[in-house]
Amino acid sequence: MIVVSRLWAVVGIAAAQLRHDRTRTVLAVVGVTLAVLSTVLLAGTGIGVVETGQEKFSDAGRDLWISGGAVQFAPGQVGGVQNSIYGAHNLSAELRGRDSVGTVGPLLFQTVYVSTNGEEFETLAAMGIPSSNGVAISRGQGFQGDGHYAGGSYDGPMTYEILIDERTAQLLDVGVGDTIHVGGTVASARANEFEVVGISGTGSQFLGTPTVTMPLSELQEITGKTGTDPATIVTLTLEDGADPERVAQQLEAEYPSLTIRTNQEQFQATLERQAVVLAGGASLIVLAVLAGLALTLNVLLSMVYQQLREYAALQSLGSSGTTLTGVVLCQSIFVGGVGCLVGLGLAVPAARGLDFVATELTGFENVIRLTPRVFLLGVGVAVLMSLLSGVLAGWRLMRLDAIRVLREH
């Protein structure tokens, strides 16, 4: 009974001090809330970036990725990209003839000028594909095919049909059935008018930017690339039962100048190319945790420091150091607990808001992933710092000179 009574007394004193200066208590809670919120959001962003990348590769439905080396930007060239695979149509036909290969998709990425009136132009990314089969179309339909290639003569009829993503539609204020000018140069764009036949986000998922998608040979035509028949990358889907790693080894032996990667290897290669960005993201997560810990500790210790006079008065009235330490721990646990709950509660709407902004800017959804381990990290920051600040403050109070403090205050 004595122990219970003493505990109730400690809790009562702590509650009274928290109520005495509500502004100070609220500010302490806000400090912990910000620490927990920043930790959760930054950690969720770091995890979300990696998981989003993995999902995009999985959703692409490809088994092998073939490239000819690093893709280089060439600002002085029409199209702005120097590709490393040439003779893309012939290479695709050879790969298509293998028993283990199901579908082959050469992809060409370029930059093009786009306009609705032939006067004011936007520079956008463009993706060229042989056909719209396998492309996700949310509205409208796909284009007819790649007949303009005509066996390499590039004199077949052009479809003048194009797909755009939602952001391009909003940027240009166009929709299915409208026409836009597209070309590798302003003169070429004025001379080539394409009809928007569908809305598709597939191109922007590859490039992370507003994108137009058209038949491969037609993109080569309007960017002056028909002489080399280039592609940025060639993707393969394999027949059921085919082993991607074994097929990759066979293709590497036959095409030593090309780089063949499985889905997982391509994802890892992409991560390696973004090593600086990922290192920066990891650093942000570490800094968020450290900053959250430091902020929480500083807030709670500051709150105790501002109450030194009250603690000195309690000590002079006969309260033991153990009692004062208990009071401090109760305050720290209360402030840390409330701040943690508020921070975790705000994390969900804050993550949705940031996701909306990220979607508008990059086209990628669910970039911030608030997984259970992320919430546990936020809880850990609050709990660890509440206990640590309570212990440190209690140790300080055990050495408190009550008479000196009361004289100074």
d(Cα 153, Cα 67) in Å, to the nearest integer?
24
Q: For tokens 């490393």, what's the residue?
A: 84
Residue 61 confidence (pLDDT): 58
Least confident range from 28-42, 119-133, 186-200: namely 28-42
Mean pLDDT, the chain, as a whole number? 77
CB 95 within 8 A of CB 233: no
d(Cα 234, Cα 213) in Å, to the nearest integer?
16
Q: For tokens 């810990």, what's the residue?
A: 293
Residue 250 burial by Cβ neighbours in a 10 Å radius (0-12, 13-18, 19+): middle
Residue 154 confidence (pLDDT): 93
Q: Which residues of 56-77 are buried (b: 16+ CB within 10 A; e: fewer)?
A: ebeebebbbbbbbeeeeeeeeb
Q: Which of the pair, 388 or 275, is modelled with greater confidence?
A: 388
Per-residue pLDDT averaged across 186-213, rounded? 88
Q: How many CB atoms lie within 10 A of CB 223?
A: 25
Residue 318 confidence (pLDDT): 57
d(Cα 374, Cα 348) in Å, to the nearest integer?
12
Residues comprising the chain, all counted: 409
- pLDDT digit string, tens, across residues 27-85: 777 777 877 887 888 777 777 766 665 555 555 557 788 888 665 555 555 656 667 78
Please provide residue 16's backbone torsions phi and psi, each rounded to the nearest 5 degrees.
-65, -40
Q: How many CB atoms lie within 10 A of CB 330?
A: 20
- pLDDT digit string, tens, across residues 86-99: 999 999 888 888 88
Which residue type, as a one-letter code, is found at position 397? Answer: L
Per-residue pLDDT averaged across 187-213, rounded? 88
Which residue type, as a one-letter code, is found at position 17? Answer: Q
User: Residue 347: pLDDT band by 50, 70, 90 thresholds?
Assistant: confident
Q: Which of the pair, 258 or 326, is modelled with greater confidence?
A: 258
d(Cα 228, Cα 371) in Å, to the nearest integer?
48
The residues facing 127 across adjacent strands are 109, 213
Residue 227 burial by Cβ neighbours in a 10 Å radius (0-12, 13-18, 19+): exposed
- Domain residue extents for the chain: 2-56+276-408, 64-241
pTM for the model? 0.62
Least confident range from 106-110, 165-169, 218-222, 282-286: namely 282-286
Inform me whether the pLDDT recorded for 355 exceeds 80: no
CB 219 within 8 A of CB 165: no
Per-residue pLDDT averaged across 193-209, rounded? 85
Inform me whether the pLDDT recorded for 148 exceeds 90: yes
